[in-house]
Structure 1
Amino acid sequence: MTTTVLPTPRDADPLLAPKLRWGIVAPGWIAGRFTTTVHAHTGQRVVAVGSRSVERGEAFAREHGVDRVHPSYEQLVEDPDVDVVYVASPHSHHREQALLAIAAGKHVLVEKAFTRNAAEAREVVAAARAAGVLLMEAMWSRYLPHADVVRRLLEDGAVGDVRLVTGDYGVRTDPPAGHRLLDPALAGGVLLDLGIYPLSFASFVARHAGLGAPTAVHAAGLLAPTGVDAQATVLLDHSGGAQAQVFTSMLTETSRTGSVAGSAGRIELGPDFYAPASVTLVADGRRLVWDEDPLRGHDGLCYQAAALARYVGEGRTESPWQPLDETVAVLETADEVRRQLGVVLPGE
């Protein structure tokens, strides 16, 4: 096909989403970024926070103008003024806390990685489906405006038959001893923390380009002294000869870009492809660029909150842009990568 203009993203204005009342489980760093942008760029409101440390919860509430602090997660999910619960704890705790919110009849947004493994994810998904509440992984990159530009390009066949998908996310972190990234009990390791982004990107492209699930997974990497993964290189095979290359590391900085190469052109994302970013289409002898998102960095977290609110307003129980079965499938791939690397978390 001949492309002369890039498509326009849909549902890009978070201010137009319905107004929901949010409760936050675990007031950490990412919860703070989420609350700041939701209050600044949407009509929604974080009305309550739950923390096992009252002092920490009160400090969070003061900083972000949150009305109520609950001294337990149980009290937070039972709050009648809370419509949706955002689980913002380390992924080692996601299963337990998501199930708690679902049992209370709340809609739930679960921070990435959704759970430690696919078995836990399937349990949480089954509970949400039985309860009839909306459940969604906080893979915020799926809901950014530039992601919909890519989605529409893939569905329109702008690059022809997809041959190669690439994604990398490496950050030299040098975490101190005892840090959650190095702690197997907290589901540490770089794959579930950073690598889940390029893995999810590969799944996103495969879905919208019609590639299907990976037919084979090949992984190699390095382990930290604690036994968690410190670096991983992953090659995914798809039917028809398409492949995806994923790299993640806590040992080195990478460009943090994503790309899709096809028989008729390519799409380039980044830097920081998982956050608000530009899209470049190289095809038909043209180089077209989309870079119109007014938000940057973690301000982009507001888009996933807006998407969830729209889905609730539409009566949905899962995201059409990242169905729950796909969330589970990405974790199945991550499970196989960890198996090949020799990473086993406590209780697995």
Structure 2
Amino acid sequence: MTVRWGVIGTGGIARSFVGDCTAAGVEFVAVGSRTRASADAFAAEFDIPRAHGSYADLVADPDVDAVYVATPHSRHAEDALLAIDAGKHVLVEKAFTITAEQARRVVDAARREDVVVMEAMWTRFLPQMTMIRELIAEGRIGRPRFVEATHHQALPTDPHHRLRDPELGGGAILDLGVYPISFVVDVLGVPTDVVAAGTLSAEGVDTQMGIVTTHDGGAQSMVHFSLDVRTPNTASIIGDDGRIDIDATWYTPTTWRVRDRDGAVVEEYDSREELTGYAHEVRAFEAMIASGDHEGGAMDPEQTVAIMAVMDEARRQVGVRYAADGGSADGESADAESAAGLEAPPAVP
């Protein structure tokens, strides 16, 4: 079946997503913005037939089957629920929401309306990650015992930027930390214990954070992420009988290798010619719509809720608090949607 897509938001992440997916043959039929001018400009840039001057008009468009939510974190729950209530399938940019409680509301609403909802964690859909899961399942490195991953970016330091504003879900954890945390859960499952430490900005958001998790069977992980330094960003999965090392930048198509217990390379791979995960995740999402199987797959909604809970606990320990921690799923924000452009950080050489 052909899935006709609508886009909520016209910022940098939306541009990256639509540009990549259009090249792969994904059909976009409408875009919605809070201003008609912004929607018109976006539609003209990507040759999208219809532009709507509100998100409500976008989700009411009868020619839209699925909606991609590309607004700031503080609006994700609100905009996802708007689309779900209109009977649309919804792909929500990472981080899925601000809190696990919001994520639960969105997932439960999708079940009630019998639509697909999924977090756009594009890394999970990379062919290299499919291969890595298969290698682990085959026992090529033995039982995974330890995972480590970093995600550091040198991002804007303006205290008024979305990334520095707690009212808009600012800080390193929702923009950057979600990548390695999701990676850890993908490999080791949901943790049984979370220990976090971090540094806060004057505005009260985390500029850096380290998290150690413990999992069933005693496996552990260690991840670190920050807003204001740039590092190679690599990852490793260490097992009883070997390890998998993923080179910079691990959350993009890159080079990686399998080593035996003594550290000798036994297999090497180069995934750099692959498409980015945007197109891969969209095709997986569309396949779920076509099959009628609305859950499971590489990014199951229950795992998304669990990942949000891990981030809730890490924030609690470090002292990062958002307005949504009070239980609201409204996510009201006056921030310009164009500020959402760093939700998918650029690759670091």
Provide TM-score, normalisation by structure 1.
0.90
* 1:22 aligns to 2:5 (yes or no): yes
The CA distance in 2 between the partners of 1:55 and 1:230, in whole Å, is 34
The CA distance in 2 between the partners of 1:175 and 1:307, in whole Å, is 36
Map 1:199-278 to 2 at 5 A: 199-207=181-189, 213-278=190-255
Deviation at 1:123, TM superposition (A): 0.5
Gaps of 5+ in 1: 1-17, 208-212
Percent identical pairs in the alignment equals 42
**Corresponding position of 2:338:** none
Deviation at 1:241, TM superposition (A): 2.3
**Corresponding position of 1:295:** 274
Q: State the secondary structure of the residue aligned to 1:81.
A: coil
Per the alignment, do residues 250 and 120 of structure 1 end up closer, same or farther by CA in structure 2, a change over 3 Å counting? same
**Corresponding position of 1:6:** none
* 1:118 aligns to 2:113 (yes or no): no
The CA distance in 1 between the partners of 2:223 and 2:281, in whole Å, is 24
Deviation at 1:294, TM superposition (A): 2.6
Letter in 2 for 1:277: T
In structure 2, which of residues 135, 156, 161 is the aligned counterpart of residue 153 of structure 1?
A: 135
Provide TM-score, normalisation by structure 2.
0.90
**Corresponding position of 1:14:** none
Deviation at 1:293, TM superposition (A): 5.0
**Corresponding position of 2:117:** 135
**Corresponding position of 2:289:** 312
**Corresponding position of 1:33:** 16
Aligned length: 323
Gaps of 5+ in 2: 326-349
The CA distance in 1 between the partners of 2:286 and 2:23, in whole Å, is 16
Deviation at 1:22, TM superposition (A): 0.5
Deviation at 1:346, TM superposition (A): 1.4
The CA RMSD over aligned residues, in Å, is 1.3
Contact 1:146 1:293 in 2 (8 A): no
Letter in 2 for 1:63: E
Spell out, residue by residue over 1:22-66, the C-alpha distance to the aligned partner (whole angstroms, 9 max, x if none): 000011101111111111113x21110000121111111111111
**Corresponding position of 2:260:** 283
Deviation at 1:131, TM superposition (A): 0.6
Map 1:58-77 to 2 at 5 A: 58-77=40-59
Deviation at 1:311, TM superposition (A): 1.2
Contact 2:246 2:255 in 1 (8 A): yes
